[in-house]
């Protein structure tokens, strides 16, 4: 027995003692392969899953490194059966390979014949493969490349894809680094993606994922389709590419609800691609409109289900997913792994903070108590409406006022889910509000005024969660969210992490109604903060005055 901060259990859970002096090092060591499940004050619970281990394997971590991390940091003897299971699970990745064949085009081969025999006997696989070529390989219908990878993952035998990619239509794209340079981790991320062929890069908001995309485009030197969450994001991508690369405005097209331009580099919104009319997706022809050499999926954790189906047919194109977190609230991480590609690069938020590229953040949960009248309404309401009642309590409005006053002079965002609540807060603060119905031009005007300091306070709905570059924001006050979404927490915290002048910290407040589902969902969101190594404090609303003194 040693004095490590980790307890490794035979049910594949890892218990991390948060207050242990070595906890930060241990957390960093297990983060590439273990998923955080629960994060109360003193003990955080992680779990080993096949997908987590396969993602680690694809990102270059082998079983020996994983076993070494467990043995190094565990306080007690690690169950031998668990170590064997880790090695065997990671060993499953790559025993099946998709490869090019000079005659048959695409083949599935294996260095382990019984594994190939096993998967070929699965009913779902039968319709995706053709003739048996020899003992160790079988022909694959090229159109089934993506579907086969999905099916094999579900069978527990993820295939490594060595079948290569079409180059696509050539188009010169160079980085213009006359006034800036790629940060080391951005360059490493782009190179890791390129070496792997396709896959996902995980970086914090504010760490310059757009520049990783631009670097990947410079590697590809080909026409590129970029899929983004909304029109504001599309225009920010365009502005950034014009500023940072050799591309001109004429070479970049926008494909959104308002504009339908197909250019050598085309930026399309998920919304327009997934618009359905009379049972069909009329804009899907965009995927075949050019011979794309690269497809970039921004905020890949938000990829709509129809895009997965489309992506299954795009396996011969290089695919880059960009995200701050691989967590998906719909549990479809496996589809990201099999269709976009495995994780190729992951930089812990705290590492990038330590390098000075993102700001440190002070995360605080402020708890309020529902007034008696509201508590009774909450207790007697339908379960479907309880979260709204708890989220929109008037007790939160006084806290918002106090926090805004406490941080007077610092650029502040008030973020929420419910429009009537946001309208009331905006009226109370005499601040502009940005919501779904706010026209794109007005959103851009208000965001620009916030960046320049003309406006110091903005009230925003979830439209500001995604890909909005607000480098000046120093304070965020979250009054309600999407049912404890960890991915939303990543986006909202990310609004604050651009480096501050004079090394100032960012402040991230979440106002939560105690003894309600609001508090239950807040625990789920806290998992994201703990995953990234951020400590969070819990205080009572009545203590805010003491906090500010």
**E-state strands within 182-274:** 199-202, 224-228, 252-255, 265-269
* Rounded average pLDDT over 459-483: 72
Confidence band (pLDDT; 50, 70, 90) for 41?
A: low
Quote the CA–CA distance of 108 and 96 in Å, as a whole number: 7
Provide the mean pLDDT of the chain. Answer: 86
* Rounded average pLDDT over 230-242: 90
Structure tokens belonging to residue 377: 């309404």
* Rounded average pLDDT over 208-228: 95
CATH class for the region spanning 354-548: alpha beta
Q: What is the pLDDT of residue 499?
A: 55
Whether 547 has a pLDDT exceeding 70, the answer reads no
Per domain, the residue ranges of the chain are 6-92, 96-161, 184-347, 354-548
Q: What is the pLDDT of residue 284?
A: 75
Angle at 170 between CA 168 and CA 173, to 5 degrees: 120
What is the per-residue pLDDT across 152-172, written as a single tens digit (0 to 9) for each? 999 999 999 999 899 999 999
Strand duo 294-297 + 318-323: pairing: parallel
* Rounded average pLDDT over 319-346: 83
What is the per-residue pLDDT across 300-312, written as a single tens digit (0 to 9) for each? 877 787 787 778 7
Quote the CA–CA distance of 493 and 529 in Å, as a whole number: 9
Q: What is the pLDDT of residue 447?
A: 86
Whether 405 has a pLDDT exceeding 60, the answer reads yes
Q: What is the pLDDT of residue 352?
A: 82
Structure tokens belonging to residue 309: 């189906």
Q: What is the pLDDT of residue 484?
A: 45
Quote the CA–CA distance of 496 and 493 in Å, as a whole number: 6
Other residues' Cβ atoms within 10 Å of the Cβ of residue 19: 9
What is the per-residue pLDDT across 348-358, written as a single tens digit (0 to 9) for each? 777 787 788 87
Quick one: which H or E segment has residue 403? helix 395-406
Other residues' Cβ atoms within 10 Å of the Cβ of residue 118: 15
Q: What is the pLDDT of residue 104?
A: 86
Q: What is the pLDDT of residue 527?
A: 64
- Residues of the chain with pLDDT > 70: what percent? 89
Which superfamily does 184-347 belong to? Answer: P-loop containing nucleotide triphosphate hydrolases (3.40.50.300)
Whether 361 has a pLDDT exceeding 70, the answer reads yes
Quick one: which H or E segment has residue 519? helix 517-531
Min mean pLDDT across 251-255, 323-327, 342-346 is at 323-327
Residues linked to residue 14 through DSSP beta bridges, in sequence order: 8, 46
Cα separation values, 98 from 133, 294, 422, Å: 14, 20, 51
- Residues of the chain with pLDDT > 90: what percent? 46
* Rounded average pLDDT over 408-430: 91
Largest CA distance in the chain: 77
Q: What is the pLDDT of residue 275?
A: 85
346 vs 431, residue with greater confidence: 431
Quote the CA–CA distance of 240 and 252 in Å, as a whole number: 11
What is the per-residue pLDDT across 80-100, written as a single tens digit (0 to 9) for each? 999 999 999 999 998 999 999
What is the per-residue pLDDT across 194-205, written as a single tens digit (0 to 9) for each? 998 899 998 877
Give the orientation angle of helix 50-58 with respect to helix 80-92, to 10 degrees. Answer: 60
Confidence band (pLDDT; 50, 70, 90) for 549?
A: very low
Quote the CA–CA distance of 6 and 23 in Å, as a whole number: 8
18 alpha carbon, distance to own chain's centre: 24
pTM of the model: 0.76
Other residues' Cβ atoms within 10 Å of the Cβ of residue 69: 22
Whether 3 has a pLDDT exceeding 90, the answer reads no
Quote the CA–CA distance of 216 and 206 in Å, as a whole number: 18
Confidence band (pLDDT; 50, 70, 90) for 521?
A: confident
Tell me whether the CATH fold assigned to 184-347 matches the one assigned to 354-548. Answer: yes
Report whether 143 contacts 195 (CB < 8 A).
Answer: no
């Amino acid at each position: 027995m040693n004095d490590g901060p980790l307890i490794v259990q035979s049910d594949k859970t890892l218990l991390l003692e948060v207050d242990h002096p070595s906890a930060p090092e241990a957390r960093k060591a297990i983060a590439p392969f273990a998923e955080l499940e629960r994060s109360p004050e003193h003990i955080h619970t992680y779990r080993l899953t096949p997908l987590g281990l396969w993602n680690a394997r694809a990102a270059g971590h082998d079983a020996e490194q994983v076993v070494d991390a467990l043995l190094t940091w565990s306080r007690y003897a690690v169950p031998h059966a668990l170590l064997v299971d880790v090695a065997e699970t990671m060993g499953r990745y790559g025993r099946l390979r998709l490869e090019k064949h000079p005659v048959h085009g695409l083949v599935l081969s294996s260095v382990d014949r019984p594994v190939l025999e096993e998967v070929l006997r699965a009913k779902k696989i039968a319709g995706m493969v053709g003739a048996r070529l020899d003992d160790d390989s079988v022909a694959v219908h090229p159109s089934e490349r993506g579907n086969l990878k999905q099916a094999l993952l579900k069978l527990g035998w993820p295939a490594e894809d060595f079948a290569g990619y079409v180059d696509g239509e050539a188009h010169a794209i160079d980085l213009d680094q006359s006034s800036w340079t790629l940060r080391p981790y951005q360059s490493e991320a782009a190179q890791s993606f390129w070496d792997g062929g396709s896959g996902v890069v995980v970086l914090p908001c504010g760490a310059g994922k757009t520049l990783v995309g631009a670097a990947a485009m410079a590697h590809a030197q080909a026409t590129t389709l970029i899929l983004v969450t909304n029109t504001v994001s599309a225009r920010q991508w365009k502005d950034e590419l014009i500023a940072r690369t050799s591309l001109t405005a004429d070479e970049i097209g926008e494909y959104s609800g308002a504009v339908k331009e197909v250019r050598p580099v085309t930026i399309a919104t998920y919304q327009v691609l997934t618009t359905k009319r009379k049972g069909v997706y009329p804009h899907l022809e965009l995927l075949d409109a050019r011979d794309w050499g690269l497809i970039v999926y921004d905020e890949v954790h938000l990829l709509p289900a129809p895009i997965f189906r489309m992506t299954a047919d795009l396996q011969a194109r290089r695919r880059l997913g960009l995200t701050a977190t691989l967590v998906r609230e719909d549990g479809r991480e496996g589809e990201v792994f099999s269709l976009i590609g495995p994780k190729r690069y992951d930089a812990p938020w705290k590492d990038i903070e330590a390098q000075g590229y993102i700001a440190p953040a002070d995360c605080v949960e402020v708890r309020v108590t529902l007034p008696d009248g509201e508590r009774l309404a909450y207790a007697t309401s339908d379960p479907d409406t309880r979260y709204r009642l708890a989220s929109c309590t008037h007790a939160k409005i006084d806290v918002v006022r106090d926090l805004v006053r406490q941080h007077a002079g610092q650029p502040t965002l008030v973020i929420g889910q419910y429009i009537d609540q946001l309208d009331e807060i905006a009226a109370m603060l005499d601040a502009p509000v940005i919501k779904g119905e706010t026209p794109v031009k007005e959103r851009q005007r208000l965001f620009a005024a916030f960046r320049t300091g003309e406006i110091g306070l903005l009230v925003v709905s979830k439209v500001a969660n995604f890909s909005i570059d607000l480098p000046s924001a120093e304070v965020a006050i979250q009054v309600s969210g999407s049912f404890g979404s960890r991915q939303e927490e990543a986006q909202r915290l990310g609004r604050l992490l651009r480096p501050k002048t004079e090394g100032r910290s960012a402040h991230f407040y979440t106002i939560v109604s105690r003894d309600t589902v609001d508090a239950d969902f807040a625990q789920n969101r806290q998992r994201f903060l703990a995953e990234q190594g951020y400590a969070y404090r819990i205080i009572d609303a009545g203590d805010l005055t003491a906090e500010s003194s």
